[in-house]
Structure 1
């Protein structure tokens, strides 16, 4: 949302498209998890690339929104309100996955966007070349900074431990802060026509992305469980 109350319509639609892709991925994962299909929806191959593209899209779009919202000066009240909502939602995901899946999401996409939004604030006002250098460094860092020194759980959000950690959803600072920085650059360099909010389905989904993110998996899993109960053997 811009200061004048207008929106960049394509951001709403892009976020809606990312939500559709996420729902497709998670529904496929659920069907595989319950043995209803023989697809290997795991952390390998094309499915892994699909999941990474979805996560990168959400993070980059968060960067675009951050740049647009605060490039004229940080709107602290709105920023902290959004941060509080993200932190609360991330905590809810951690608690829910702990009890429902037995493997809690400790630093997933919501945790990442909350932290990355804070880390990215100084870059909103930095020269574009510096933002690009920081993005490149963030992408490359796991190749030369990975060390046993970062194996302690306190460094879990950094992603620099040589031991690969199993997690249902995990987007650590290195390398996932890079898409946020790329989003800042995109907001500065791409044509972003403003318009009053559009009402097509994708745009509406994009404007309610957090709610959809939080409720879509319980709904999908509920539908799959219902099918397994009523489907003929």
Structure 2
């Protein structure tokens, strides 16, 4: 049994919505620290760094699931590029907004930039079948392999520089507010793609149905998941605006 063409499956949207809500809570805590209401180390404390890893992983895994559904439903390249342009445009807006707030550490290759790059690779490799699982593992392993290789071959240290470090084959993290390079994160999206293609063949019901309930929490999550890009672009400006207003009011 295959899904009806061009139908969104609600459990993928729910997973995406969970990632969005988790990300919102994470960013709100970050904003509280930025404004001096709390003191947290978001760059080195494992409590926060592991949360970021889980949030990004959930985002990219669901992106892979979505691509599996799109391919299965026969999405053509013109439709793909329209959606890709929205993601890439959002990435540019994130860079601009972060440059205004953090000119020295602005986001030049964050999660939306990474998704835009990886979507193209994932779409081109969607037919690779079972190979996606070991290739995904190989991509993820580059997080640990790359520092060893660059340490042994110092001539490759140029890969740490902005531009080159979008690939993710690095030995030192850049100083930027968000960073989601192709490696190792492509591996997570590949796993999402592989899992989605397997589920569509063997357990399509696990991905849910195309019609969400008219009301209730599940409906709210589905709607949030379907408007995730808009929500992603707006949630931080709204929270920062409210906190700025609060600081001014307390003045």
Structure 1 length-normalised TM: 0.91
Q: Deviations over 1:97-148 (max 9, x none)?
A: 11222122111110111111101123211122x1011101101123233421
RMSD of aligned residue pairs (Cα, Å): 1.8
- Secondary structure at the aligned position of 2:171 is classed as coil
The answer to whether the 8 Å contact 1:105/1:169 transfers is yes
Give 1:42 deviation, angstroms.
3.5
The question of whether the paired residues in 1 share the 8 Å contact of 2:107 and 2:178 is answered with: yes
Contact 2:64 2:190 (8 Å CA) reproduced: yes
Mark the runs of 5 or more structure 1 residues left unpaired by the alignment.
none
1:195 aligns with 2:196: no
The 2-side partners of 1:125 and 1:72 are apart by: 14
Of 223, 237, 243, the match for 1:204: 223
Distance in 1 between residues matched to 2:139 and 2:232, nearest whole Å: 26
Question: What is the alpha-carbon distance in structure 1 between the residues aligned to residue 72 and residue 5 of structure 2?
Answer: 14
Call closer, same or farther: CA 1:93–1:105 in 2, change over 3 Å.
same
TM-score of the pair, normalised by structure 2: 0.85
Question: How many Å separate the matches in 2 of 1:175 and 1:5?
Answer: 30
Tell me the residue number matched to 1:180.
189
- Is the contact made by 2:5 and 2:73 (CA closer than 8 Å) also made in structure 1? no
Give the aligned partner of residue 217 of structure 1: 236
Q: Is the 8 A contact 2:139 2:186 kept in 1?
A: yes
- Where does residue 109 of structure 1 map in the other structure? 111
Q: Which stretches in structure 2 are left out of the alignment for 5+ residues? A: 151-156, 200-205
Shift of 1:153: 2.8
User: Against the structure 1 CA distance between its residues 201 and 43, is the aligned structure 2 distance closer, same or farther, given a 3 Å change threshold?
Assistant: farther
Pairwise CA distance, 1:166? 1.3
CA distance in 2, matches of 1:95, 1:77: 27
